Amino acid sequence: MGTAGAEGKADAEGKDGCGQGAAARAAHPRDAGGELSRGQVVAMLGDLRRTLRERYGTADEARFDAGRSDEARRRALVVPVRFHVLAAGRAGRLSRAAVRSQIATLNAAYSGRTGGADTGVRFRLAGYDVTNKAAWFSHPRKYQGVIKRKLRRGGRGTLNLYTAAVGSDVLGFSTFPQWYRRSPRMDGVVIDYRSLPHGSYRRFNRGYTAVHEIGHWLGLLHTFQGGCTPPGDGVSDTPYEASPAQGCPDYKDSCPQRGDDPVHNFMNYGFDSCMREFTPGQGRRIRAAWAAYRAAGHGHGRGRARERGSVDRGTGGAGAARSVGGAR
């Protein structure tokens, strides 16, 4: 559960909005924008229900998911990724091989190969570019407006993923799909380049900062959103959690509601070695949010033409700041 934004890590080992020290992620939210208020969460979940009802005749995510066609069920939703590498000379200059490794990590996590549910989402590298600009590289949050106006490509269904030196208390930040209509140019995800697979941020170098932040971009909140107070993250199979996971606990049950804390969930704040799963309910939330906000042809009018770069739900191939996801 959380806000798409920056998420922080506590010590110099690396940040995704969650700290790299044992307690860092709890002490410093992953999202730069901080946690969403209960009012914001209620409004976002309500907007999702209204949009689903208007477009598909039901506000129930499970009913919407069950009503998808057999063809849509068979095919993965493939998201095109425009990967923008920000650098300062040699610093931060990621190779194509490093970028492909991150894409492979995304596909493993979202397909359930690391454990947990298959969300039905896959990722395809659609573009790779390197921009050598020291100020952008060193201060991506300060310059994110100009960075995104200059580099962003595609429509609401294209993921623009940027890497830079995000900082020591934050490893990444993201926007939520609900925000696209208001600020389409700000849509996207920014992560620290040291958090990629085999990066230099010990404990946070398996590529899961991107997995987490993209979860926000796809519509997921932190599992600890709102603590033990409803509606939490609004997903029925992620138990309530009073506070983020710290380090890699074997077990935690911090709320009176039924269920142990989801300490291994990708939308929590544990070490990368502790993260391994999404739930079936999170998969349904992603597919519902995609249909509501990022599917091809989405717009204020039902007959609106498809946007370039968008991907319809259930299709197999690719043709979408403060973030709700919160920073790591």
Instruction: Report the C-alpha gap between 279 and 119 in whole angstroms.
Output: 8
d(CA 9, CA 23): 9
In angstroms, the Cα distances linking 4 to 36, 318, 324 are 9, 24, 3
Active site residue 213: yes
Using CA atoms, how far residue 166 sits from 70, 192, 235, 327, in Å, is 42, 5, 29, 10
State how far the Cα of 173 lies from the Cα of 192, in Å rounded to an integer.
9
Distance separating alpha carbons of residues 223 and 246, to the nearest angstrom? 13
Tokens of 73: 């069920």
* 291 Ramachandran zone, left/alpha/beta (phi>0; psi -120 to 50): alpha
**Which position has the token pair 């949010």?**
289
Q: How far apart are CA 209 and CA 224, in angstroms?
A: 17
Contact between residue 128 and residue 98 where contact means Cβ atoms under 8 Å apart: no
Looking at this protein, which amino acid is placed at residue 248? Answer: C
Question: Which one from 7, 35, 61, 213 is the annotated catalytic residue?
Answer: 213
Q: How far is CA 79 from CA 38, 84, 102, 162, 259, in A?
A: 30, 16, 14, 15, 32
Lookup result for tokens 């998420």: 7
Q: In angstroms, what CA-CA distances link 280 with 3, 67, 244?
A: 21, 16, 21
Q: Are 132 and 158 in contact (CB under 8 A)?
A: no
Residues carrying an active site annotation: 213
